[in-house]
Chain A
Amino acid sequence: TQLLEQSPQFLSIQEGENLTVYCNSSSVFSSLQWYRQEPGEGPVLLVTVVTGGEVKKLKRLTFQFGDARKDSSLHITAAQPGDTGLYLCAGAMSGGSNYKLTFGKGTLLTVNP
């Protein structure tokens, strides 16, 4: 059972376009993290959201945690080729098992110059 569904799975856009990536679940998470992975490297943490409805901005990237803490979105404004990579969301379950993260399968973003 895939607890975190990411969409779209693949996204190819032109430089300057805006995009949104979604991370959805039927489960409630105590926190949710977004990572970016470049080819041949390990994932790197971008942000952690904790409070329902929380919005965090990281330059051109805007992250939102759903009010019910079951979903999240990542919006990129004016995408650049350097944004190319695999974007992964990961959630920490509420309760005692929060030493493990549940990862989505990722969204592979390609930004063409």
Chain B
Amino acid sequence: NAGVTQTPKFRVLKTGQSMTLLCAQDMNHEYMYWYRQDPGMGLRLIHYSVGEGTTAKGEVPDGYNVSRLKKQNFLLGLESAAPSQTSVYFCASSRGTSGQSYNEQFFGPGTRLTVL
């Protein structure tokens, strides 16, 4: 099993450009998450999904959109990139809190995005 994969690994954008980050998981997890990680700020939740076709805003959703058309995929879009969106983006998935699960999250390797 590949676990959680993210593409691309690195990307450089110019201000105003758009892009989509792809996250895929092969563990049949219901929940998926997008975080950004910045020095001194820790992991901050951007958007999340508790099931196929559903999405919700997290702590820092402005400037981002998401879609969960298939259970295994969670896409993060930047419509008009800004330098403030320079960060490392992590996708995660979990089974939630059913049974003996306590929402333990499995993370992808990250995407390093620079916006010039």
- Render B32-63 as a binary contact track against A, CB cut-off 8 A, 1 for contact: 01000000111101001010000000100000
Bound Cα distance A101, B97 (Å): 11
Contacts of B4 in A (CB 8 A): 42
Q: Is the CB of A100 within 8 A of B48?
A: yes
- Render B1-41 as a binary contact track against A, CB cut-off 8 A, 1 for contact: 00010000000000000000000000000010100000011
Chain A 10-42 interface residues, beta-carbon cutoff 8 Å to B:
30-31, 33, 35, 40-42
| Cβ of A44 to closest chain B Cβ, rounded Å | 7
Q: Is the CB of A44 within 8 A of B110?
A: no
Q: Main SS of the interface on chain B?
A: loop
Bound Cα distance A40, B110 (Å): 8
Contacts of A99 in B (CB 8 A): 31, 48, 50, 96-97, 103
Q: Does A55 contact B (CB under 8 A)?
A: no
Q: Does B79 contact A (CB under 8 A)?
A: no
Contacts of A42 in B (CB 8 A): 4, 90, 92, 107-110
Q: Is the CB of A103 within 8 A of B42?
A: yes
| Cβ of A99 to closest chain B Cβ, rounded Å | 6
Q: Is the CB of A43 within 8 A of B107?
A: yes
- B39 nearest CB neighbor, chain A only: A105
Q: Does A88 contact B (CB under 8 A)?
A: yes
Question: Which 8 A-B pairs give the minimum distances between C-beta atoms?
Answer: A42-B107, A105-B42, A31-B102, A103-B43, A43-B107, A48-B102, A45-B104, A42-B90
Residue numbers of A with Cβ under 8 A of B are 30-31, 33, 35, 40-45, 48, 50, 88, 90, 92, 98-101, 103-106
Question: What are 9 A-B pairs at a CB distance below 8 A?
Answer: A30-B102, A33-B102, A33-B104, A40-B110, A41-B110, A42-B107, A43-B90, A92-B102, A98-B97
Known contacts A43-B43, A92-B103, then 5 further A-B pairs from the complex at CB < 8 Å, ordered by chain A residue: A40-B109, A43-B105, A44-B107, A90-B105, A92-B102
